[in-house]
Structure formats: structure tokens, C-alpha cells
Structure 1
Amino acid sequence: MKVLIVDDEKHVREAIRYFVPWEKYDVAEIFEATNGQEAMEIILEQQPAVVFTDMRMPLMDGAELLEWIHRYSPYTKTIVISGYQDFSYVKPAIVYGGIDYLLKPLNSKQLISAAERAFQKWEEEKRERERAFRQNIQLNVLRPLYWDKKLSELVGGTVSFQELEEALVEELGLPRNAKHCRMAVLSLQSSGGLLLKKFRGDIQLTSFVLVNVCNEMVSLRKQGFAFRYWQEGADVAVLFWNRAEEAEERLLEINESLKQAYGISLDIGLSRILPFPGGISDAFIQARQSLAERNLLLKGKRIHEYLEGSSEAGRAGGTMADDLLEKLGLSLLSCDSDKIVRSFDDWADFLAGTGVLTISGLREWEDRLRNVLTKWRLEWVGAEEVSKAEAPFPSAIEAGGDFSFERWKDSLKSYIMGMFGESKLSRSSDSRIVREIRDYLDRNYQQEITLQHIADRFFLSRENVSRKFKQVTGENLSDYLTNLRIDKAKELLQNSDMRLSRISELIGYEDEKYFSRVFKKATGLTPREYRKGDFDENN
């Protein structure tokens, strides 16, 4: 604790210092002032627990000082020490909560007793303030959880607006005359889940951050409130109840904040403007549907407004796309790689040509494609091989979060052709050694590997290694190793902040400059350019 003694007489200040056993009350510092103005400056800077003050002083007397302390330092306890019994001096001490009024000359027992009461009172109030502070912290933690739950129930229709109306008005600033509402929903899985990856897959933390960003734009403007949705179909929801026509503008600001902070923009579903409060549930359904049925072919569009009939347009292609997918299955059975490529291109290009491909439609077509591939592999390599876990389809999300149809098409084609090559290797006993070589490269690409090293390891001549690898895979061994390393480098460049020298080491190049030359030759870009996201969809 700190103490301030205010008196224009030095001997009085010294007497107070002498009589009170400060160490007993754990007093760390004692300050002195000769008038009220000096005292004010010290109180503002040091926040003393107790002030001993005279009543008659130059510049500012004790009555004015007591009134000022009561207003600007209410936790400070005061003890008045005066040479006058006049009630006009006693009254301010009573009005402004003084602990005691002591008369000069000072009586040591009275002074010590008053000081003890002041210190005890300050300690009691300090403990109460700390208890209230801890309680407030708990309430501040629980309050968002409470509103997450209640607003989730409100938009889900399991709790009525009337049950929450008063709390919404008092705590969240809902205007009593609100007549319209609008809902927006955000999914952490949109944009390839890139924001979630920034927080190492922690859904709770990512949702918490996203809600805070939304409420900086929405709640602080008293336009509505963002909350974590407790059921499936959305991770974060925003309920607009004021100036709903400005909702899209707020959502654009939210995305701009996310882009500046994390380099990512999210896809957001937005409902129409509906009556409040009766339209809350319908607005939520519309927002969730507009997000799920967003058209992936509209590149750069992030705010997806609800449109009637959008769900019917979700599955692009219909019967024609089914027929083309069936032809792809037949071409796989033919074992003709050119036919496979042409059939896949025909199917994928037809989907792009429809002009509409929703996220649900994309998943449905990927499921149908996986069924075709599984059926082919059952006939080609047998049930035992098919039962092994398959790798997931490659992602087609660019660095900024946009879906790239061309990247999806090219990566999926590579996936299918890689599977086709795997199946050929499985069927050909003569090519088993090549498969072993390739598996070895896949596991050890980060080490220094030469043709001679491979030849020695597998007891073949260098010429035999090159010839067999080319015959079976259709690719030079050196090209395969380079492409493997470049693919790994791309992953590290997009998903980590590692230095280029470290990435170079991890993929098997000791020389960073040589790695940069190889990378640019393969992709057309330097590693730094690729990391910035300046790459073409086909690279």
C-alpha cells in the first residue's frame, strides 16, 4: 500500500510518520504534500490507499481536496487531521466518507487506531473488488457461450423470440422498433479450410476469432450480432436486425479484415431481407442454402445472396454428364491412356460448360467419379488391392481461397493417371522392380539421389534402371524425381513460412540457388513468386 500525508506544517507530517507502525500494514511508500494541489498530482500518479489531510492549507484546502478525492479516487480512504472543531470543517469529512476526524495536537493511540481502521477498510474493499473482477471475468467468458446457444436455438426455431426479447434489447442492443432482419452464415471449411489451417485446425479458436472480427463490424455499429452456431450447416452466423440493406457492405468489410490479417477471404451465404422477428428462421435457412449452393465457377465472388431455385441448379450436367462419366469408365477398362485422357477431358469440360457448379454438385460428381474408379479397380486389380485406403482427391483451392476449376481438372486427371499407372505396375510382375524404385524415391526424395545410387541399391546397371523406368512409367527417372520434389516444394511454399533455404534442404537440394532455378524451369515462377500466389492455375 501507499500513503499520502498532506499538511503545510512539517512537524505534523513528521509526527504522523513517527507514530504509525507502517511495516505492520505493509505500507511500501509514504508521500508528502504541503497543499491540496500538490496532493492531487500525487494521488493521480501514485493512487495511495490512505490520505491523511489537514483542513486549512494554502491554494486548495482540505474540504476541496476531500470532494475531489471522493470523485476521482473513490477507493482512497481519508483521515482528517485538524486544529479546529468547527462543524464546517467536520462536515466534509462526514459527507465524503472520511474514516476519522482527529484534532491537533495528535494523540498517538487515536492516530494509530484511525490508521488501522482505514487500512482494514481499504483491504476489505480491495478483496471485494478482486472478487467482483474475477466474477466479471467468468461472466465475460460465459456470456458469449450463452448467446451462442440462445441465438442458435432462436434461428433454429427451438426458442421463441419473446423469451429472449428483453435480454436482446438490454445486452445486445436490439432496437425495440426493429422490423426487418437478414442472416449471413460462414463456414470454416469454405476456401479450402485455409483459415482453419492458420489456427492449426483448432475449430473453437478459429470460430472465436471469426466471431470477434464479425462483431467489430456489426455489433459495434449496433446492426446485429455474430455468434457461433451450435448445430451443423454453419460455423458462424450473423443476425442483422438494423439497416439490413447494408449487410453486404459489412460482410465485404469482414472479408477485407480477414484478407489483411490472414491473406484469406471466406465464402459467405446471405439471405434476403425478411420481416423481424418472424422471418429469422427462414433467413437462416436461406443463408445456409445460398452458401451450400454457391456457384464455384464464378471466380472471385465471395458474398452469395439467396436466389429462388438455386438448389435445382446445383447438380450441373444431368444425364449427359452421367453418360460421359460412363465413357470414362469404359476407357479405363480399355487400358488406353490417350482414351482415358480424352474421356476425362470431355466429362470435365462439359461440367464447366454448364456455367453452374455448386459445392454440393461438385461433391456429388466427385462421389460418382470415385464409384467409377472403384468399379474399374475391382475388375482390374481385385478386391484385395481396392480395399486399401485411397488417397483423397486433391484440393483445387488457390492461395487466396478461390476454387480453380482448371486446377481441379488437371490435378484430378493426374490423380486418375497416377492410379492407372499404379494398377499397371500391380499387374505386371516384370515391372515390380520399377515400382520398388519409385516407392524408394517417394520415401527418400529429400536425400541426395543419383542414378548410380539407384543402380547400386537395386543391383542393376545404370542403363537398365533408366530403360526399365521409362518403359513402365513412361517417364524418365530424373524427371519423376524432379517433379516429386517440386510438388513437395509447392506444398511447403503454400502452407508454411519456412525460409527458402530450409525448403531447399527438405526436398533434397543443398544449394538454394540451384533449387530456385529448377523450380522456375518447372513452374515458370521463382519460389517467392509462387508463395505470393502469382501462379497460373495450370502450374
Structure 2
Amino acid sequence: MKVLIVDDEKHVREAIRYFVPWEKHQIDGIFEATNGQEAMQIMQEQQPAVVFTDMRMPLMDGAELLEWLHGHYPETKTIVISGYQDFNYVKPAIVYGGTDYLLKPLNSRQLIDAAEHAFKLWREEEAERQQTRSRNIQLNVLRPLYWDKMLSDLVTGHASFNELKPALHEELGMPEHAAGCRAAVISLQHSGCRLLQRFHGDVGLTSFVLANVCNEVITAERCGFAFRSWQAGAEIVMLFWAGVTEAEARLQRINESVRQAYGVQIDIGLSRVCAFPEGLQSAFRQAREGLNERNLLQREGRIHLYREQQGDSGSEKDYAPDTLSEKLGLAVLSGDMERMERVIAEWGERLGGLPMLTESSLMRQQEALCAVLQRWRPEAEVRLETCYDEEGLFSIMNWQNQLKALLRRLAQGGASTPDNRLVQDIREYLEQNYAKDMTLQHIAERFFISRENVSRKFKQISGENLSDYLTNLRISKAKTLLHNTGLRLSQISELVGYEDEKYFSRVFKKATGLTPREYRKQ
């Protein structure tokens, strides 16, 4: 709590300083002014809680100061001190909320009582203000959650539009007579979750940030609202209830904002124009289908419009994935790895030649693939993921490499063999200790096996040299640090296990084609 004493007489200011027990009331700042103008400047800089002011002063008297305080700092408590028993000087103190009116010469007991009364009033009111601020903070935290839940229920048919309509109009700016609507959907599980990776896998934080970015564009034009969905597979939903024909252009601006801020782009499903409000559920369904049935081979455009006849049966007719599954099954039974890889290469070539490949179609093919491989190795874990590249687009090459790695692992006898468990243990150990000085001899001693056996078994199971695996692991960690921190190269070098910064730079460039500085700049 701070205090300001305003009086053009020095001895009055000194008397107030002398008599009031400041330390008892934990006053940590006492300021002085000789007139109202000086007092205004101090108020703006220090914002004292209590002001002692004289009424007769040069430049600006007490009455003007009280009026100014009442308008600009109404929470401040004022104690008026005057040498004149004239009602003209008492009136401003009453009108503008003075807590006490003292006459000169000052009586020490009255001064102390007036000061303590003002301190007590200010603290009581400040406690109430703190409670109000705390309640407002809680409401501000809960309000977005409320709308997330209500709007999620609205687009799935679990909430009544008529009940929400007044609040939608008042709080979210929805026009009372909207005719049409559109919905757009973003899923953080698509495009390799690259935006999600930027926030270390925190879905809640990523969704919160993304909803804010969307609303910066949408609410500025009062054309709709973005919210975090409570439905699986659709983390962000945008409802447009005005200017629906410009929805696609707004989504393009949102994607550009995300690209500029985080260096990634996102796939967005967009519905057709539906009747409002009865078409809200249809719009949400169409937006989800537009995203889920997007063409994975499409390299341009990240806004995916709903198509009336979703599906890709026409493209699959000439493609015949069942034939390729049979081929792979025969290759698997033969145990010939080269033959298996030739089938995978053919499969990738067929995929790349399709006019359209939807995610649902790819998932069906992967299920068929996994079924073939599971029959071959029933004891092993068989799983395939949709593979994306650095731009968040589906990569046939990455998909093929994933399948080849899976086949090599299964060819070694499945994940349950002792050698597989050994290699998995080595990988986990390197993941936890890559920053340390790590040699082949050290790893051999750690797992009670010869150096030659460690190297040979790791290569057999993983298809990769152990030293290359460790280097790639370290480079991957270095990329993350370069991308997300401002650490110096020497610090990053040490953190990923290289004591020599120059040697780290050479290894990094050999692995990525770029120096660490070039990678960070890019």
C-alpha cells in the first residue's frame, strides 16, 4: 500500500509523516506533492491507495484534485485537511467520497484515527476486488469450455438450438436471421500431427492455440466461431453462419496464419452450404467426411471440400489390391526378402498411379496387409501407420520403407525372440543415453555380449548399423533443439553427445545436407 501527502506547507507534510504509524500498517511508499498538478503526476506513476490532501493550494486546489481522483482513481481513499471551516471546502470532500475531513492545526489522535480508518476501508474493498477478479478469472477459464461443450453437443444433435440461440447471438455475434451455414473440421491426427509435434504432443494446448488462431480470422468478421470439439477425430470445428460463400477463402487465411506462426500447414475438411439451423448436423458430418475422404495423393491445396459421392471404388477397380495382397502372401511364404521388396515396389508404383487414394481406402489395404503378415507371424505385433513427409503430405516412399522395415523384422522371427528383445533393449538404452560418450565396447559390456555380436545382431534385426542408428538418433534430437530452442550450437552439440562442435556440424551436414545453422534458418 502506498500513500500520497498533498500540501503546500512543508511542516504539515512533516507532521503527517511523523504522527502516522506507517510500519504498523505495512505502508511501503510515502510520496509528497505541493499542489494538485504534482499529485496527478504521482498518482499516474505510483497509484497510491490513500491520499491526504489540503484544500487551498496553488496551480490546482484540493477541490479540483478530488474531482479528478473521483473520475480516474475511484478506489483511492482521500482524507481532506483544511484550515477553513467553510462548507465550500467540506462539500467536495462529501461529493467525491472523502473518508474524513480534518481541520488544521492537526490533532495527532484524529489524524491517526482517520488514517487507520482509510487503510481499513481500502483493504476491505481490495479484498472484495480480489475476490471479484478471481471469480472473473475462473469464469474466463470456464466460458470457453462451456462453449466447447455446448457447440459440440449442438453439431451432434445433443443440444437444442432454440435454447442456445439468445446466448449465441449475444456472446458469439450470431445474426438472428442467419439463412445458411457451413462447418469446417481440423483433426490433429492427420498430416503426421506436425503441428501437434510443435507442442510436444500436448493435444489440449495445441487445440487451444489452434482455436485461437482460427477465431482471430473468423470472429474479426463476426461470421462464425471456432471451438474445440468433444468428438473423436475432430479436434477443432468451425461454424460459419454469415458470409458462408467466403468460408473457403477464410480457411486459406487461417492456414497461412498457421504456416507463418508455426511453419506447418494443416488439412481442413469443409462442408457444403446447409440450411441453418436445421442443417448443422449435416454440415458437421460433411466436413468430417471431406477431411477423412480427402485425396492423399493431392499435393496442392489443403482445404478438402465434401464430395456428394465419397468413395474410390472406381479407382480401386483397376488397381486390384487383393491381387497384390496375394502376391505379397506368396512372397512371404517363400521367405525371399528380395521377392517381398519387389512386391512392395510394385504396390507403391500402383498407389502413385491412382487418380485418387483416400485415407479410408488406404486403411482397408493396410488391414488386408496386416492380416497376411499376422498369419505369417501370429506371435508378432503387426501394425502399419499412414506415413507423411516433412510437408505433412502422404509419402508413398515413407510408406514403402515402413513396410520393408516391418517385413525385415518379421523375417528375423518376430518381436518375441531373444535377439529382438536384445535389440529393443539396446534401442531404449540409446534413447535414454544418447547424450553420453557411447562406444560399441561400452554397449557390449552393458549387455554382456561381444562387440561383434552386438553389431551383427543389431544389423540383422533392424537392417541398420548400430553406429548409423545412434548417429541418426542424435541428429533427430539435434533437429528438435534447433527447431524449438535458441540454444547455441556448442550447447546443442554437447546435449546430443558431441563434445566437438565442428565435428557435430560435419556429421549433421552429412546426414541432412545442411549445416546446423542452415537447418535452423530454413
Question: Do the aligned partners of 1:185 and 1:270 also contact (CA within 8 Å) in 2?
Answer: yes
Contact kept? 1:300, 1:402, Cα under 8 Å: no
- Aligned equivalent of 1:525, options 509, 513, 517: 513
Structure 1 residues 131-173: Cα deviation after superposition (integer angstroms, max 9, x where no partner): 1111111111111111111111111111111111222222223
Deviation of the 1:491 alpha carbon: 4.2
Q: Is the 8 A contact 1:493 1:530 kept in 2?
A: no
Give, in angstroms, the shift of residue 256 of structure 1: 3.1
1:205–1:315 distance in 2 versus 1, CA, 3 Å: farther
**1:440, 1:130 → 2: CA distance?**
54
| Whole-angstrom CA distance in 1 between matches of 2:479 and 2:176 | 48
Shift of 1:448: 3.4
Query: What's the CA shift for 1:309?
Result: 1.3
Measured against aligned partners, the alpha-carbon deviations of 1:257-308 in whole angstroms (never above 9, x if no partner) come to 3333433222111222333322222111111111111111012432212221
Q: What is residue 80 of structure 2 aligned with on the other side?
A: 80
Residue 210 of structure 1: aligned partner: 210
* SS of alignment partner, residue 286 of structure 1: helix
Q: 1:506–1:56: structure 2 CA closer, same or farther, 3 Å change rule?
A: closer
Give 1:127 shift: 0.7
Letter in 2 for 1:61: D
Deviation at 1:352, TM superposition (A): 2.4
Partner of 1:389: 381
1:412 matched to 2:403? The reply is: yes
Contact persistence 1:181–1:239 (CA under 8 A):
yes
Deviations 1:352-392 (A, max 9, x none): 22221122222221111111112233xxxxxxxx31334x4
Aligned counterpart, 2:174: 174
**CA gap 1:527/1:375 in 2 versus in 1, 3 angstroms:** farther
Structure-1 separation of matches of 2:18 and 2:424: 87
The residue correspondences of 1:138-157 to structure 2 (distance < 5 A) are 138-157=138-157
Matches within 5 A, 1:275-314: 275-312=275-312
* Structure 1 segments unaligned to the other structure (5+ residues): 378-385, 535-539
Q: Aligned letter for 1:369?
A: L
Which letter maps to 1:12? V
Shift of 1:397: 1.8
Distance verdict in 2 for CA 1:459–1:70, change over 3 Å: closer
State the shift of 1:499 in Å.
Answer: 8.4
Which amino acid is the alignment partner of residue 8 of structure 1? D
For the residue of structure 1 that corresponds to 2:320, the secondary structure is helix
CA apart distance, 1:125: 0.8
Aligned to 1:7: 7
Q: CA deviation at 1:126?
A: 0.6
Q: Look up the equivalent residue of 1:408 and give its one-letter code.
A: W
Other-structure match for 1:53: 53
Match of 1:114 in 2: 114
Deviation at 1:335, TM superposition (A): 3.2
Equivalence for 1:96: 96
Any residues of structure 2 matched to 1:192-231 within 5 Å, and which? 192-231=192-231
Q: Is the 8 A contact 2:81 2:102 kept in 1?
A: yes
The 3-state SS of whatever aligns with 2:226 is strand
1:273 match: 273
Residues 469-488 of structure 1 correspond to what in structure 2 (within 5 A)? 480-481=465-466, 483-485=468-470, 487-488=472-473
- The answer to whether the 8 Å contact 2:78/2:99 transfers is yes
1:403 aligns with 394
SS of the aligned residue for 2:225 comes to strand
CA–CA distance in structure 2, aligned partners of residues 166 and 425 of structure 1: 59
Q: Could you say which residue in structure 2 is the equivalent of 1:358?
A: 358
Q: Is the 8 A contact 2:475 2:508 kept in 1?
A: no
Aligned AA (2:406)? Y
Work out whether residues 269 and 288 of structure 1, in 8 Å CA contact, stay in contact via their aligned partners in 2.
yes
Match of 2:185 in 1: 185
Query: C-alpha deviations, 1:423-474, integer Å up to 9, x for none?
Result: 49999xxxx9x99998898788874349xx99xx9889x9x999x99xx969
Q: Assess if the C-alpha contact under 8 Å between 2:381 and 2:415 holds in 1.
A: no
1:351 deviates by: 2.5
Structure-1 separation of matches of 2:315 and 2:164? 40
- 3-state SS of the aligned residue for 1:184? strand
Give the residue type in structure 2 aligned to 1:152: S
1:31 and 2:31 equivalent? yes
Is the alpha carbon distance of 1:508 and 1:165 closer, same or farther for their aligned partners in structure 2, counting shifts above 3 Å? closer
Mean Cα deviation higher: 345-354 or 368-377: 345-354
Give the match's secondary structure for 2:265: coil
Retained in 2: the 8 A contact 1:317–1:350? no
Distance in 2 (CA, whole Å) between partners of 1:28 and 1:509 is 52
For 2:148 and 2:471, locate their aligned partners in 1 and report how far apart those are by CA, in whole Å. Answer: 44
**Structure-2 separation of matches of 1:520 and 1:22:** 66
Give the aligned partner of residue 348 of structure 2.
Answer: 348
Distance 1:338 1:396, change over 3 A: same
> TM-score, normalised to structure 1's length?
0.81
Change (3 A) 1:518 1:441: farther
| C-alpha separation in 1, matches of 2:168 and 2:318 | 47
Deviation at 1:318, TM superposition (A): 7.1
Q: Secondary structure at the match of 1:205?
A: helix
**Whole-angstrom distance in 2 between the partners of 1:474 and 1:114:** 85
Call closer, same or farther: CA 1:47–1:474 in 2, change over 3 Å: closer
1:22-65 per-position Cα deviation (integer Å, ceiling 9, x unaligned):
33333233222221111111111121111122222221122211
Shifted more, 506-515 versus 302-311: the winner is 506-515
Q: CA deviation at 1:174?
A: 2.4
Change (3 A) 1:514 1:59: closer
- The alignment's C-alpha RMSD in Å is 4.0
Distance 2:415 2:10 in 1: 101
Q: How far, CA to CA, are the matches of 1:509 and 1:5 in structure 2?
A: 64
Task: State the distance in 1 between where 2:105 and 2:461 align.
Answer: 108
Equivalent pair of 1:271/1:290 in contact (CA under 8 Å): yes
Aligned partners of 1:474 and 1:116: how far apart in 2?
Answer: 81
Q: Compared with structure 1, are the counterparts of its residues 212 and 444 closer, same or farther at alpha carbon in structure 2 (3 Å cutoff)? A: closer
Please, what TM-score do these two structures have when normalized by structure 2? 0.83
- Return 5+ residue gaps in structure 2 as ranges: none
- Between the aligned partners of 2:313 and 2:221, the Cα distance in structure 1 is 36
Give the Cα separation in 2 of the matches to 1:395 and 1:196.
16
Q: Percent identity at matched positions?
A: 53
When residues 31 and 121 of structure 1 are mapped into structure 2, their CA distance, relative to the original with a 3 A threshold, is same
Q: Point out the more displaced range, 134-143 or 316-325.
A: 316-325
